[in-house]
Amino acid sequence: MAVTINPQMGKKHLVASGNDKVYAEGSVAGTLTQVAGLVVDTSDNLNMFSGLQKAFIVNGGNFKIVDFSNTKITVTALTTAPTRGSIVTQLTSGATMLVDFVNTAKTEIYGFTTSGTFVTTGGYTLSGGGMDPETRVPSAVAEASTAPHGYDWTVYPDGSSGSLPVKAYLGAWYRGRAVLAGNPNDPHQWYMSRQLNPFDFAYIANDAQTPVAGTNADAGKVGDIVRALIPFHDDYMFFGCASSLHYLQGDPAVGGELHSLDDFTGIFGAQSWCFDELGDLYMFGNDGISRIKKGTTFLKNISQFSIPKLAEDEDANPETHRIVLGYDKRRDGIVIGITKLSDGSNSNYFYNIKSEGFFPETYPNECGAYSMLYYSSNVPSDADLLIGSKDGYIRKFDDAAKDDDIGVSDQAIASECLMPIQDLSEDEDDGRGRLTTTTIITAGGGSGGSHADTDGLTADIHVNDDAETLVEAVKDGDTPLHAITLSGTGRQNRIRKRARAKWLGIVLKNSTLSETWALGKLSIGSKNAGRIK
């Protein structure tokens, strides 16, 4: 499953692909319908990007477009297509169209209707734009307002617009150009269409808007295998490579230059990056998570102190795993999804931007993230981070739900939190302490009140004379010294379970279907208990 949006003209559109078909949001916000006649290969890598109120699909040898702005007019085959940018007029109805694209067979004209409504009645002939024959009567008209149009992405017909690469797996929109890369036969190459014309790839014109590729630009090819195209606003185009990062500054047809950003850090894959609300860029590379502040080219690793061996511990392989990053605007954080493609098993993290903390998460296999997108819908209730999942569903986080939706049923959420471990002794070096009491206040309001109440939870008490051993025991799921079950809201009965050690760790958890828990306060009482022998 893959998702993308088209943000032009003040209206947002959602496009998704799954089960070898393409779906798009139509006139009803939040509702997806299949785009007629558009088939992709979801067993192969697929990427999408948006520009000019279109979604461009890059799928190996399959290049497709989902078009939200143009009217489609079907005619019997033309000998010569109307010129792109010309005006086609219909006799009698007076409807006019600014021509945008004509298919290879010259049987379909796509353009923006500038006035009137096109009809298919005899005598209502089309003319203009230098098309030959000079007139045609439409056999069908599909207005832009009825549904998005799906068609093959090819160059403009009549032989003067070059050609798209035979294969590509990466695409982006940069400075008004459609950008392609990821050609397995030429992995260092990149291709850019004419500015504001995604149907022209003829690298021969000598003007500022000319189509351009690495082989015929002063900037040149990238000196590494390109894995990701990242348009950093209109300032830079980042090329995320297997073991290095590069960026194109400016437009390659007008003095743009290719620079090396980092010769040792690469990017994991085509979707292993995202922007936050401020425009800062986050990437997952071979040394963890890095960030580039908006307007700069300085790469800073933000996971090296919290999770220094993140990439090594995850041991993900681009051939077997997908790593996707998505910005969650509602919760102001970055979701990092690491999913095994074969079965959807996953290991994920939520990075809280304000606290700069990483929080590990695991989703059901059905929910393993294949793609993510923050969808800025015009309908506020539809705006959220969307996750394209292993089982073909598009999901979002729901603060009100107590279980994970895995399709035909729900699955309990198992949540636990190790509270900050405490030194029970006043001696900083080798003293021990004795836990005497534990007091827990669970969250919630009074009976019948408006505040949501916590469900029950379990408090596991772990102790050890070595802090690292204690944390490892919790991580490995070792049996705690004491396990206490709590229920209800507010102040619980004081727990008088005793323990003697230097370090104390309390784990609060719940894994029961349709239950959640919340903590108000936890406090302990302790006394010195001698020295460690």
Are residues 170 and 231 in contact, defined by beta-carbon separation less than 8 angstroms?
no
Whole-Å CA distances, 81 to 85, 199, 436, 503 = 12, 14, 87, 79
The count of other CB atoms within 10 Å of the CB of residue 413 is 19
Q: HSE on the CB side for 364, CA within 13 Å? A: 17
Domain boundaries, the chain: 71-143, 163-412, 416-531
Contacts of 146 (CB under 8 A, 6+ apart): none
Tokens of 339: 């999913």
Can you tell me the distance from the alpha carbon of 362 to that of 367, in angstroms, rounded to the nearest whole number? 9
Pick the CATH number of 163-412 from 2.60.40, 2.130.10, 1.10.10, 1.20.1630: 2.130.10
Distance between CA 392 and CA 17 in Å, rounded?
A: 9
Q: Can you tell me the distance from the alpha carbon of 329 to that of 383, in angstroms, rounded to the nearest whole number?
A: 9
Coil, strand or helix at 263: coil
| Closest-CA residue to 371 (of 36, 53, 2, 12) | 2
The CB density around residue 273, as the number of other CB atoms within 10 Å, is 24
As a whole number of angstroms, the distance between CA 245 and CA 266 comes to 6
**At residue 406, what is the residue type?**
I
CA distances from 447 to 426, 444, 455, 493, 522 (A): 41, 9, 13, 18, 22
The four Cα atoms 157, 162, 163, 164 give a dihedral, to 10 degrees, of -110
Architecture of domain 416-531: Sandwich (2.60)
Q: Which position has the token pair 């307002």? A: 145
pLDDT at 5: 44
Cβ-Cβ contacts under 8 Å for 359 (sequence gap 6 or more) = 349, 350, 351, 352
User: Residue 247's pLDDT is what?
Assistant: 93
Q: Output the pLDDT for position 8.
A: 38
CB 236 within 8 A of CB 297: yes
Cα–Cα distance for residue pair 503/55, rounded to 1 Å:
56
The total number of residues shown for the chain amounts to: 533
pLDDT of amino acid 486: 93
Tokens 């021990």, residue?
432
From first to last of its 533 residues, the chain has per-residue pLDDT tens of 444 444 433 445 678 888 888 888 766 666 788 898 899 998 899 999 999 999 999 999 999 999 999 999 999 999 999 999 999 999 999 999 999 999 999 999 999 999 999 999 988 999 999 999 999 999 999 998 887 999 999 999 988 999 999 999 999 999 999 999 999 999 999 999 999 999 999 998 889 999 999 887 777 889 899 999 999 878 889 999 999 999 999 999 988 889 999 999 999 999 999 999 999 999 999 999 999 999 889 999 999 999 999 999 999 999 999 999 999 999 999 999 999 999 999 999 999 999 999 999 999 999 999 999 998 888 888 899 999 999 989 999 998 899 999 999 999 999 999 999 999 987 777 889 999 999 999 988 665 666 678 999 999 999 999 999 999 999 999 999 999 999 988 889 899 999 999 999 999 999 999 999 999 999 999 998 888 77
Residues near 10 by beta carbon (within 8 Å), at least 6 away in sequence? none
The pLDDT value recorded for residue 10 is 40
CA gap 490, 135 in Å, rounded: 80
Token pair, residue 524, equals 């302990």
- pLDDT the model gives residue 144: 86
- Torsion angle of C-alpha atoms 114, 119, 121, 127, degrees rounded to 10: 30
